[in-house]
Each structure stands twice: as structure tokens, then as C-alpha cells.
A and B are shown apart, each in its own frame.
Chain A
Amino acid sequence: MIKAQNVVKIFHGYSGVVRAVDGVSTEVAKGEVVVIIGPSGSGKSTFLRCINGLEAFNEGHIIIDGVDLANKKTNINKVRAEVGMVFQQFNLFPHKTVLENLTLAQRRVRKRSTKEAEEKARMLLRKVGIHEKADDFPSRLSGGQQQRVAIARALAMDPKVMLFDEPTSALDPEMVGEVLDVMKQLAKEGMTMIVVTHEMGFAREVADRVIIMDEGKVVEVGTPEHFFTNPQEERTKLFLKQVL
């Protein structure tokens, strides 16, 4: 489904050249849930953003469903339509109602009729449990509700993969659960997911595979059991000690 080969992303900052992602290779199979954890600044979010082309990477290949993002002829908009993304800050469109947030890209990108798009949107809103807020503006919703709308907005495009970039980091603690529940349900339904998170409980419960990153490199890969019971690398142990 997704294949990353030796991906390198370089930032030119004031402190010189930073290799934010430094030779990451991994494969994600259809229906697999991969959780990427690691300390802040480890390049996990940047790697995730490379997967749907929000960051252009400097070296290597990312191949989604046979399409190579490194190829200049690739239509990135087509790829993005198949790859849903959920952001830390929700990034809902504040000038549009919840329903319009879900229908906009369906109509513009998938060329669905308004009626068709609205049916799909209402179905998804019911699924994430906020159908009664369909006509409200996002500012009227709590953080947890906004993030669930953002998930529904990504799902409305019928993506093959969902990327989550620290989806619960900006939420008040009491709202984390409702968002994780939606994500768990999604995983159960067989959605292919790559999740960058600090939620170890979620990783342990849902992930098929956990990747630990540090300083742009993959430190360790394994099943959740492997990580939480028998971590091999020193850096993994150190990190787990800090977060658990």
C-alpha cells in the first residue's frame, strides 16, 4: 500500500542544515495500523507530511498504491485525494458550516453533486456522533467535536489511507477519549492508518506495528507487546521511561 524508501528531508534553518527525516524506510500494508512515536523534533510529523506531499522530500521514494511521489509527473492532487489527513490543530474551515466543511472537497475534487455530498457528509457525521451540529459553524464546537469533524471531512473523500498528525495533542484531556474512540472504530473497520501520537494507550491497544523515531531516524520497529514488555534499544527504553 505505502512504501517509503530511504526518505530524506532537509531543512535549512538558522542553525544550519537539519536532516529532519534522515533515511527512513518502511512499508505499510493494506488495513495495517502503524503508530509512530518519538520525542518532539524527531521528524515523525515531517515524515508523515511527506507521505501526502505537504512537505517535499529531498531524497528517496514514497510509493502509494504504485504511484511514486518522487516522480515529477505525479499529480499530487490525485494522490492527496486518496490520502486523508488529520491535523493537530483540526484546521477546519471557520467560514463554512460543519456540513459545508465535509462537502466542499467532495464537490470540488470528487465532482459529486451537492445532494450526494450532503448525504455522504450526514452519514459520516452520524458515524462520528455529531450529526446534530451539521449546520453550526466550527467555532461553536468543542475541540473534541472539531477533531471528529476533521476526521469525518477526511473520510468523506473515501481515502485509502488515513494519516493522523498528533490528533489529540491540542485537546483538553477530557476530550481525548472521544477522538480516540472514533479512531479505534476506524481501525476496526480495516482502514489503513499511520498515526503520529503520544497516546501510548492507543498504540498498545490498536497498533499492529509501532515505529520509534529519533533525530530523523527509525530507532526501533516492532509490535506493541515487543515495545512495552521488551524494548531492545537504549533510546527506546529512555523514551518509554519518560512517557509512561
Chain B
Amino acid sequence: MNATDKTWPWKLLLAVILIGVAAGTWGAVQKIEYQWRWNRVPQYFAYLSEDAQKVPFDGQVTTIVPQGEDVAVTFVAGKAEKVVLTVAADSLKVEEGEELFAGDTVGFTKSWHLGPLMLGLWTTLWLSGVSSFFGLFLGLITGLARVSKNFTIRWIALLYVECIRGTPLLVQIFIAYFFLGTVFNLSRNVCGVGALALFAGAYVAEIVRAGIQSISKGQTEAARSLGMTAFQTMRDVVMPQAFKRILPPLSGQFISLIKDSSLVSVIAITDLTKSGREIITSTFATFEVWLIVAAMYLLVTSLLSQLVFYMERRLAVSD
């Protein structure tokens, strides 16, 4: 008997519990009067927009040439002026030889545009990406400063970490925008990224410090006894080993940052959360939109988790 044979009752139990929770939720929702309008949601991911193509002057349509799903309409006024307008074939409103006046519509061009949900997701991604980068940089420096032999450096790092970890991120964002942003005339994006980076940096610093201190003293002693400098020892011996250990907590921190970035919506940065709120004001599809927004966050964070899992496996070769 191997282990997998014995787990099926537990898998069954898990399935029963999950189905039970889903059914319970479904039943509860049925009791209130809520009109589900899932059909309103897709247009907020991407939508097809139609732009009217109008002739700029009075004249005559000379030729209409099909080009795949589009047609090219050549329009001339005398010999001097000539334009070619490309419109969707099924929206063509003119015939060859037809006389038109300036401003008349020839047809429509159709093009796909990203909706607010995708634009919001993009804002969330770049916001978290840029803050993660600066946060990592800041955290690395601060983490090293935390284990420095110099009293002043060590205490500056400690004060920074304690101040950030001891106050709510929401308050920090307000201070960054309304106080620092006003005093130093910073844009909301700079304030948002700055607040998130400072916040992440403090937590990364503690992770880095713990990682460095978890590497046995013998490693440093061995490297130093070979004549390597403190810097070389840190770079070639301690940090590569520490990095492997801090990767799981570090990735957890960055996944948290993606979620925490939703708080910048309070200073009117249109991230995924703010996009969701804006869509709700125009659709009243509250349930659908928040569920979709949550699913989008979940998708991004689980993809990141998978990536980290893969990296951990790659780094585990020397174990």
C-alpha cells in the first residue's frame, strides 16, 4: 500500500466541503434579490470600438477596393485633392461614383481596446513591479546596514524599519501624498510608488537580515581565514547562500505588495481596485466586479508563486 491509496477518503472529504461551501453560498445568494449580470463584465476587459470615417471635403467616390475584411475607398475632389479611407466592409455606406459633402460618413473602422479592468491590472502590475524593484534595493541596503559594525548605520536602519513596520501602510500613503507630495511637489504616481517601496523595503530588510544571520559563522570564518575581505565574503559566500533561504519569504513579501498596492487607490491612482470601483458606479454589478477583481489578483499572485517555486527547485541543486 502506498500513501496515495490512503488519501482518497480525505480528498473526497475536501471535495464535499468545497461543494458544501459553494452550495451554501449559492443558496444564501438565492434568498436575496440580486440580478446577476455577468454579461456586462466582458466589455470591461476589452471592447470593440467603432470610429466613424468622414470625408474631409466635397467630392466623389471613385473606386472601392476590397482588402480582406476592409475596403479602401478612394475619394477625390477635382484633380487637386484625393484621400483613401479604409473602413470595415460591413459598415460601408457609400457606392462608387457617389457624390459626398464634407463631413459625410463613409463607414466605420473597428478596433479592439483594452477595458478599464485590463488597464487597472496593468497599473497594478507596473506599480508593484517598480516598487518591488526599489523595495528590494532599499531592503538589501538596509538589511546589510542592520548587521553593520558601525553604530550610526545600524541605528539609522533600525529606526527606518521600526517606523515603517509600526505604522499602517494606508497612513503612510496618506503622508506620502498629502504631506511629502505637497511639500516636495511630487506626482501621485511617485508618491504611490515611493510609499510602497519604502514599506516593502522595511520588510525586505528584516528578511535579508535574518537570512544573513542564518548563515553559520563558520562560513564567514572560513572565507576570512583564506584572506578574503569582508565585502568579498559577503558577496561570494554569505549572500548567495542567504539568497536561497530568503527567496520564499521574499516572494511572499512581493506577493503581499501586489495585494497591498490596492491601497494606492485612495490617492486616486487607477489601479485594479479603483477600476473595479469605477465600473461598479456605472454598472451596479457589485458582486460580479469584486469577484472578478479578486480572481484577477489571485491569478497574478498564483502565477508568481509558481515562478518562485520553479526558481527554488533550480536553486536546490547544491543541497
Contact = CB atoms under 8 A, between A and B. Distances in A.
Contacts of B222: 85, 87, 91-93, 150
Interface core residue of A54, A137, A150, A154 (most chain B CB under 10 Å): A54
Interface in B73-116: none
Contact of B229 (A77, A83, A87): A77
B226 A54 contact: no
A109 B318 contact: no
Contact of A137 (B221, B236, B244, B317): B317
A6 interface: no
Contacts of B221: 54, 85, 87, 91
B224 A109 contact: no
A91 B227 contact: no
Contact of A81 (B218, B226, B240, B317): B226
Given A87-B222, A89-B218, A105-B223, A94 B228 contact: no
A108 interface: yes
Contacts of A87: 218, 221-222
Contacts of B226: 80-81, 84, 104-105, 109, 153-154, 157
A95 B244 contact: yes
B244 A80 contact: no
B175 to A, nearest CB: 41
Main secondary structure of the interface of B (DSSP, over half): helix
B227 to A, nearest CB: 3
Interface in B211-248: 216, 218-219, 221-229, 232, 236-237, 240-241, 244
B33 interface: no
B225 A94 contact: no
A82 B227 CA distance: 8
Given A87-B222, A137-B318, A81 B244 contact: no
Nearest to A96: B318
B315 to A, nearest CB: 9
A78 B225 CA distance: 10
B319 interface: yes
B228 A77 contact: yes
Interface string A63-101: 000000000000001101111110101011111100000
Given A85-B225, A94-B241, A108 B232 contact: yes
Interface residues of A, number: 28
Nearest to B232: A108
B227 A80 contact: yes
B237 A93 contact: yes
A139 interface: yes
A139 B316 CA distance: 12
Contacts of A85: 221-222, 225
Contacts of A80: 224-227
A53 B229 CA distance: 13
A52 interface: yes
Given A91-B219, A94-B241, A104-B236, A54 B224 contact: yes
B241 A95 contact: yes
B36 to A, nearest CB: 54
A154 B222 CA distance: 9
Interface core residue of A54, A77, A105, A109 (most chain B CB under 10 Å): A105
A92 B216 CA distance: 11
B225 A54 contact: yes
Given A93-B219, A108-B236, A52 B317 contact: no
Given A54-B224, A93-B219, A108-B236, 10 more contacts: A80-B225, A80-B226, A80-B227, A85-B225, A91-B218, A93-B241, A105-B226, A139-B318, A150-B222, A157-B227
Interface of B: 216, 218-219, 221-229, 232, 236-237, 240-241, 244, 317-319
* List of 10 A-B pairs having minimum Cβ-Cβ separation, nearest first: A81-B227, A105-B226, A91-B222, A85-B225, A91-B218, A109-B227, A80-B227, A137-B318, A77-B227, A95-B240
7 contacts: A77-B228, A80-B227, A91-B216, A91-B221, A94-B318, A95-B318, A108-B232
